[in-house]
């Protein structure tokens, strides 16, 4: 390839990307028809063919969303530029090796953002280092908030999840044109994107679309029940003054749907049979009759290789930027436990026994982590590993960011720049940025990035598989250490 521009023919039409020294990139390539009007609340459908050559040299629009901030922590690299208006936002970005031979491994990334924010144009998801190292990397936009996840009569459930499945079908149909192997696709996601990956793993509609999956700080028990989702739907309908039906919501503008989002926070989603799996942090998740971990326990996704893990101090992200890590009290700890446990005092006591020197802030952070990520990831790993012939690998990312005076630590999201090998991005560096002041360890980024690529290529990240309730899992920090896959916390089902 010698020209600075490159044209690739897809099933829908030709797209023009841009060449750099070691990779080609195609931005804003549609994988589904624009979700406008009533189509916002319908299943995605393939994009109509186009004439001529589509310009894929510039960033595309993003899903409607409100600005998202996290206290004093600068997170623009993660959340991106917010809502960039335009109807054509169900798109993928594709990074491909410049000198790729046909049949390169393919990795498809689903971004996080609590199901209400984020996009594939966030700088953190720059796929150039994956392409440099021989991978075709695809990043996906999907519908967020009310269009993506509000459970409405007259509309298919989990439209944002349906978007991800449609993007995977686009990959199967088109990725060979970019040098990728449609039979070697690894779906990976972080946070909300990881929980969506759990849902894909458990969904029969995903059969044959992915060979491997990576779940970074997701939750195999993070789905809302239909009863919980109905509470959010009722609240949204009241705020809009319409009936809770898709036909009525389809008449509301995107601007108005985004405007009411703050008013949906704080809904009590606890029921007689379920705690709030997101402990009040978002009014949206996938809505399922069964949790993904339970579907996987029954055999769903058993043939898909799984790499799954969490960060050592996930909960710090939700406390440190707001000054709450040092000011939390035991009353705050018990209030947090009450969001997902019917026996908060007893549960907190068990946590205190396992952390005899822990401060109230540290206990609260650990409880947040357990509720949002750790327990559900552990259950999914156990469910997957229980099947004969399945390959399951676990990790814990433990490098501590020095951001916010050292309080951020190994918080939620800190592993992402290492996975993408972009720890040198200026927007990540500084005392109030994700990676803190100073220079993050380059060798850790190189090794973490390489482990993810090794898993996508061969199904082996470089350490021994996990066995149910047993070791090992890889503790990832400047020094890597295989440790027992123990259960350091009481099980959520414990009495």
Q: What positions carry a catalytic annotation?
A: 191, 314, 412
Report strand pairing: 136-140 vs 180-190.
Answer: unpaired
Q: How far is the C-alpha of 355 from the C-alpha of 239, rounded, in Å?
A: 43
Q: How many CB atoms lie within 10 A of CB 221?
A: 22
Q: How far is the C-alpha of 333 from the C-alpha of 331, rounded, in Å?
A: 5
Q: What is the residue whose two structure tokens read 């989990």?
A: 158
Three-state secondary-structure class, residue 184 = strand
Q: How far is the C-alpha of 134 from the C-alpha of 105, rounded, in Å?
A: 8
Three-state secondary-structure class, residue 143 = coil
Q: How far is the C-alpha of 193 from the C-alpha of 149, rounded, in Å?
A: 13
Q: How far is the C-alpha of 418 from the C-alpha of 121, rounded, in Å?
A: 18
Q: How far is the C-alpha of 129 from the C-alpha of 416, rounded, in Å?
A: 13
Report, in angstroms and rounded to the nearest whole number, the Rg of the chain calculated over CA atoms: 21
Nearest to 454 by CA among 291, 214, 251: 214
Q: How far is the C-alpha of 284 from the C-alpha of 165, rounded, in Å?
A: 19
Three-state secondary-structure class, residue 5 = strand
Do 36 and 143 form a contact (C-beta atoms < 8 A)? no
Nearest to 14 by CA among 53, 55, 51, 46: 53
């Amino acid at each position: 390839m010698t020209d600075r521009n490159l044209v690739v023919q897809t099933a829908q039409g030709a797209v023009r990307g841009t060449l750099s020294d070691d990779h080609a990139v195609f931005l804003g390539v549609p994988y589904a028809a624009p979700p406008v009007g009533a189509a916002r609340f319908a299943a995605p459908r393939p994009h109509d063919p186009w004439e001529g050559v589509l310009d894929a040299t510039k960033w595309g629009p993003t899903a409607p969303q409100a600005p998202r901030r996290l206290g004093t922590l600068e997170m623009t690299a993660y959340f991106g530029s917010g809502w960039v208006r335009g109807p054509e936002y169900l798109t993928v970005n594709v990074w491909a090796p410049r000198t790729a031979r046909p049949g390169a491994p393919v990795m498809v990334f689903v971004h996080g953002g609590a199901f209400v924010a984020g996009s594939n144009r966030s700088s953190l998801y720059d796929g150039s280092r994956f392409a440099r190292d021989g991978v075709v990397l695809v990043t996906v936009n999907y519908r967020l908030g009310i269009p993506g996840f509000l459970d409405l009569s007259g509309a298919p459930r989990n439209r944002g999840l349906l978007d991800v499945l449609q993007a995977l079908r686009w990959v199967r149909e088109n990725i060979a044109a970019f040098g990728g192997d449609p039979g070697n696709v690894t779906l990976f996601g972080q946070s909300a994107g990881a929980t969506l990956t759990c849902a894909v793993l458990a969904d029969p509609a995903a059969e044959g679309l992915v060979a491997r999956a990576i779940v970074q700080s997701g939750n195999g028990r993070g789905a809302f029940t239909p009863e919980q989702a109905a509470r959010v739907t009722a609240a949204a309908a009241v705020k809009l003054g319409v009936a809770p039906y898709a036909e009525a919501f389809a008449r509301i503008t995107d601007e108005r749907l985004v405007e009411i989002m703050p008013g949906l926070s704080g809904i009590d989603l606890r029921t007689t049979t379920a705690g709030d799996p997101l402990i009040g942090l978002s009014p949206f998740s996938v809505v399922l009759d069964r949790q993904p971990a339970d579907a996987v326990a029954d055999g769903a996704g058993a043939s898909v290789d799984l790499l799954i893990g969490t960060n050592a101090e996930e909960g710090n992200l939700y406390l440190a930027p707001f000054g709450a890590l040092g000011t939390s009290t035991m009353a705050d700890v018990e209030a947090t436990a009450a969001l997902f446990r019917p026996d908060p005092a007893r549960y907190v006591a068990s946590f205190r026994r396992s952390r005899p020197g822990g401060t109230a802030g540290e206990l609260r952070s650990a409880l947040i982590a357990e509720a949002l990520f750790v327990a559900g990831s552990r259950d999914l790993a156990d469910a997957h590993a229980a099947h004969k012939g399945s390959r399951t690998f676990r990790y814990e990312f433990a490098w501590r960011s020095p951001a916010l005076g050292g309080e951020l630590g190994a918080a939620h999201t800190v592993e992402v720049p290492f996975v993408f090998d972009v720890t040198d991005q200026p927007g990540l560096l500084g005392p109030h940025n994700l990676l803190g002041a100073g220079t993050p360890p380059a060798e850790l980024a190189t090794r973490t990035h390489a482990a993810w690529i090794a898993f996508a290529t061969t199904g082996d990240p470089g350490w021994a598989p996990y066995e149910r309730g047993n070791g090992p899992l890889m503790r990832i920090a400047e020094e890597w250490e295989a440790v027992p896959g123990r259960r350091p916390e009481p099980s959520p089902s414990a009495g």
